[in-house]
Amino acid sequence: MIFEKNSTRTRVSFEVAMTDFGGHSLYLNSRDIQIERGETIEDTARTLSGYLHGIIARVLSHETVKKLAEFSTIPVVNALSDMEHPCQILADFMTIMEHKNRFEGLKFAWIGDGNNVCNSALLGSAIMGMEFSIACPKGYEPKTEFLEQAKALGGKFTITDDPKTAAKDADIIYTDVWVSMGDEAEEEKRLRDFASFQVNAELLGDAKPDVIVMHCLPARRGFEITDEVMDGPNSVVYEEAENRLHAHKALILKLMG
Ligand code: CP
Ligand code: NVA
């Protein structure tokens, strides 16, 4: 488990999953290993392939996890990059299935930044047949390559800068922080740009009465989501967090079982 960024859920759930299976995991902070002193990703990947059964990597740049995968002879899992967070989406879709018992025909409203989690949710929705409705300020849309990929997968999506339009009749409302890891230098501007994109009780009023509210966490309460909504009856955020453990177990079995 190579981590270039902080983590609570991903790190702990992968570690517990391996322990529950009778396996062992090693947490490697990128600052402690030789990558920090300039050893190449290629050499790191080749070396670790001789010791381990898999690599889980949380990286600053998506290129790093791609290179790890290219030069390893063992499975490599993206545990979040600046571009995608696929493990999160496995747990999220498990949570949606538990509550809605289907994917087809559901409306998934993404409120906020067109970031890494949004990109993965967009692709996942395209694969599973959910309508994906993004509300973000102009300039914060998902990158064209992800929109193109979603289209190629047959995905149906819309982009608007009006949260109420996206939330209208939604089955799922999802939000994430306005300032992701790595975006800290833009914090002041982002807090201004996203001010009207809060998931609050008023916005929930536009969605279906049985809408579920999701957040990958960590949340900045009072910014992208209110306490009232996060702690309210529509919120499934802690089930979502717990499902990280179960989804990671499935992933480990699939790749290394
Ligand atoms: N949602 C998520 O990936 O949380 P952590 O950053 O705590 O791992
Ligand atoms: N978009 C957030 C997700 C954290 C799990 C980030 O990249 O910081």
| Residue among 9, 88, 118, 190 flagged as catalytic | 88
pLDDT at 155 over 90: yes
| Averaged pLDDT for residues 186-212 | 98
In the chain, what are the domains? 2-82 (3.40.50.1370), 88-236 (3.40.50.1370)
| Whole-model pTM over 0.85 | yes
Distance from the alpha carbon of residue 180 to the mean position of ligand 2, in angstroms: 5
Q: Which atom of ligand 2 is nearest to the CA of 216?
A: 5
**Local confidence band at 102 (pLDDT 50, 70, 90 cut-offs):** very high
In this prediction, residue 257 carries a pLDDT of 82
The reply to whether 248 belongs to the active site is no
Measured CA to CA in angstroms, residue 239 lies from 13, 91, 93, 159, 201 at distances of 13, 9, 11, 28, 20
Report the chain's mean pLDDT, rounded to a whole number.
97
In this prediction, residue 30 carries a pLDDT of 86
| Residue among 9, 58, 215, 248 flagged as catalytic | 58
pLDDT at 86 over 90: yes
3-state DSSP of the chain: CEECCCCCHHHHHHHHHHHHCCCCCCCEECCCCHHHHCCCHHHHHHHHHCCCCCEEEECCCHHHHHHHHHHCCCCEEECCCCCCCHHHHHHHHHHHHHHHCCCCCCEEEEECCCCHHHHHHHHHHHHHCCEEEEECCCCCCCCHHHHHHHHHCCCEEEEECCHHHHHCCCCEEEECCCCCCCCHHHHHHHHHHCCCCCECHHHHCCCCCCCEEEECCCCCECCCECHHHHCCCCECHHHHHHHHHHHHHHHHHHHHC
**Of the ligands numbered here, which is closest to the C-alpha atom of 14?**
1
| Averaged pLDDT for residues 120-143 | 98
217 lines ligand 1 (CB under 6 A): yes
pLDDT at 16 over 90: yes
d(CA 220, CA 242): 19
115 lines ligand 2 (CB under 6 A): yes
**Local confidence band at 118 (pLDDT 50, 70, 90 cut-offs):** very high
Q: Which atom of ligand 1 is nearest to the CA of 11?
A: 8
Q: Which protein residue has the closest C-alpha to ligand 1 atom 3?
A: 10
In this prediction, residue 161 carries a pLDDT of 98
Distance from the alpha carbon of residue 117 to the mean position of ligand 2, in angstroms: 7
In this prediction, residue 124 carries a pLDDT of 98
Distance from the alpha carbon of residue 74 to the mean position of ligand 1, in angstroms: 24
| Averaged pLDDT for residues 206-228 | 98
pLDDT at 99 over 90: yes
Distance from the alpha carbon of residue 59 to the mean position of ligand 2, in angstroms: 11
pLDDT at 59 over 90: yes
| Averaged pLDDT for residues 59-77 | 98
The reply to whether 88 belongs to the active site is yes
pLDDT top residue among 257 and 211: 211
